[in-house]
Structure 1
Amino acid sequence: MKKKTIKIISYLFAGVGIIFLLFGMNGTWDNISFIKKSTETLGTVVDMKVKDKTDSEGVSQTYYYPVVEYTDANGAQHVLNSSMGSGRPECEIGEGIQVLYLPENPSDGKIGTFGHMWGGMLIVWILAIVFIITGFLIEFFSKRDKRRKKKAERYSATVDAKVSEVIYNTSVEVNGRSPFQIHAQWHDEQSNKIYIFKSKNFWFDPSEFLHDTIAVKADPANYKKYWMDTSFIPEMAE
């Protein structure tokens, strides 16, 4: 995959995350303002609307939306149709439930439970965090080889590791695709240990450009700190 494409994908995830973040901040502020200005009363669940929804995989799920009747400070009655449903009834018909409403507009009421007031906002905040972190991680891992190469400039050991295999790095997936990764091993005769070295990710199969061995710069005090020199392998065209 082209570096430009990876950068665009990382920016896209981060951008969507920022949009969710702005929605979350705005919604949270609106909820806080509403709670500060509102008056509390006890409403009664008078009905339970049932709606069936089908997800993208064709699985149907039943949701329950409470209908609540409440009386404001002036004795006027109002009916609140909840816009938030749940997979199972959270309350029963005839049950009392907290309601918040604005004194200047008593018909503008909301069920005052945590789930109804903050459930939607929590989902938005979680989506914001997930998208922003994903965008950051895509950018972070795409530049990991550059960081390793820079650190390797002060490593004093260079070993010729035997190329063992080229695999799909399934720990990374973008648009349903996983990159290729070169694995090489080296036997440290002094400690009689085998070290496995892994290359950066390639979005094309580098096998035809490989030789029997590949140079690896490493820290002789800790061979787990290394950088595999794949500079002889062509870069994918932009």
Structure 2
Amino acid sequence: MRPKGCMYIFFGVFAAAGLLCGIVSASLVYSRWNVTHNGIETMGTVVDLQYSKSSVAPVVSYMDENGRKRLYESTSYTSTNPPEIGDEITLYYLPENPDKIALEGEGWFNLFPLIFFFPHGGVGFGGIYRLEKKRRLYNWLQQFGKEIQAKQTEVKRGSNKGRSYYTLKCEWLDPYTQQLYNFESDTLSTDPSDSLPVGSPVRVLIDPDNPKRYWVDLSFLDT
């Protein structure tokens, strides 16, 4: 069947979330790159620690190029090799914006949004790609497909999160090549067995040159 609009919305939400995480991560990476490549390198001293459960983030004191003492409160918390008061840390700052800081060794925090980018983006963009591929095939078959009559062989029942779904299977014997083809419908929310018992004819559109490209027409069913 044709891809439903609700599925585009479903996968679109995942794609948007993944894209947002990717943009955030790219922005953070670029910002750090700009500071480390165009900024001034200096040494800072850990003067205080901020705690979040078992993780620690340093508060660093440093002098800018004008001899002014500044404080930088890191938002990168870690429980692995946590800093201690008195530690010296290499840092970079922009001369035109001394409060724009990049601490050495904390760049990996900027990649954290990618943890969400790949799974969300993969589900979202992958789903949209499959829907678009199915939509294009459906439109092509509507114009150039060959109509055949297959026979219903089975209705397969499955479930997901407590909800049942059904898939109709049918077969067709090519009268010219004597090759048997098996087709499978898109998932249905209701059991089509009453309307299409085993052996019933089922309209299928196929690519005349490649019957493995097909669409099982169950549009008459109220699904």
| Shorter-chain TM band | 0.5 to 0.7
Rate the CA distance shift 1:70–1:177 in 2: closer, same or farther, 3 A: farther
Greater Cα shift, 177-186 or 225-234: 177-186
1:85 maps to amino acid? Y
Q: Give the C-alpha shift of residue 32 in structure 1.
A: 4.4
Pairing 1:45-56 to 2, within 5 Å after superposition: 45=46, 49-52=50-53
2:112 is aligned to: 123
Q: Give the C-alpha shift of residue 19 in structure 1.
A: 4.4
2:136 is aligned to: 147
Aligned-pair identity in percent equals 27
1:201 and 2:174 are equivalent in the alignment: no
Decide whether the 8 Å contact of 1:64 with 1:89 is kept in 2. no
Q: Give the C-alpha shift of residue 83 in structure 1.
A: 0.6
Q: Give the C-alpha shift of residue 160 in structure 1.
A: 1.7
Rate the CA distance shift 1:222–1:19 in 2: closer, same or farther, 3 A: closer
Give unmatched runs, 5+ long, in structure 1.
53-61
2:35 is aligned to: 34
Rate the CA distance shift 1:145–1:199 in 2: closer, same or farther, 3 A: farther
Q: Give the C-alpha shift of residue 103 in structure 1.
A: 3.3
2:102 is aligned to: 110
Q: Give the C-alpha shift of residue 84 in structure 1.
A: 0.8
1:181 and 2:170 are equivalent in the alignment: no
2:169 maps to amino acid? H
Q: Give the C-alpha shift of residue 226 in structure 1.
A: 2.3
2:93 aligned residue (101, 105, 118):
101
Decide whether the 8 Å contact of 2:155 with 2:192 is kept in 1. no
Is the partner of 1:202 in helix, strand or coil? Answer: coil
Q: Give the C-alpha shift of residue 164 in structure 1.
A: 1.4
Is the partner of 1:83 in helix, strand or coil? Answer: coil
Instruction: Tell me, in whole angstroms, the C-alpha distance in 1 between the residues paired with 2:191 and 2:129.
Output: 22
1:165 is aligned to: 155
Is the partner of 1:163 in helix, strand or coil? Answer: strand
Rate the CA distance shift 1:194–1:169 in 2: closer, same or farther, 3 A: farther
Aligned residues: 218
Q: Give the C-alpha shift of residue 200 in structure 1.
A: 1.9
- Structure 1 length-normalised TM: 0.63
Q: Give the C-alpha shift of residue 198 in structure 1.
A: 1.6
Q: Give the C-alpha shift of residue 177 in structure 1.
A: 6.2
Instruction: Tell me, in whole angstroms, the C-alpha distance in 1 between the residues paired with 2:99 and 2:6.
Output: 51
Per-residue Cα deviation, 1:61-86 (whole angstroms, up to 9, x for no partner): x3232344444445555443321113
1:227 and 2:219 are equivalent in the alignment: no
Decide whether the 8 Å contact of 1:169 with 1:201 is kept in 2. no
Rate the CA distance shift 1:86–1:178 in 2: closer, same or farther, 3 A: farther
Rate the CA distance shift 1:107–1:137 in 2: closer, same or farther, 3 A: closer
Give unmatched runs, 5+ long, in structure 2.
none
| CA RMSD after TM alignment | 4.2
1:216 and 2:204 are equivalent in the alignment: yes
Rate the CA distance shift 1:233–1:144 in 2: closer, same or farther, 3 A: farther
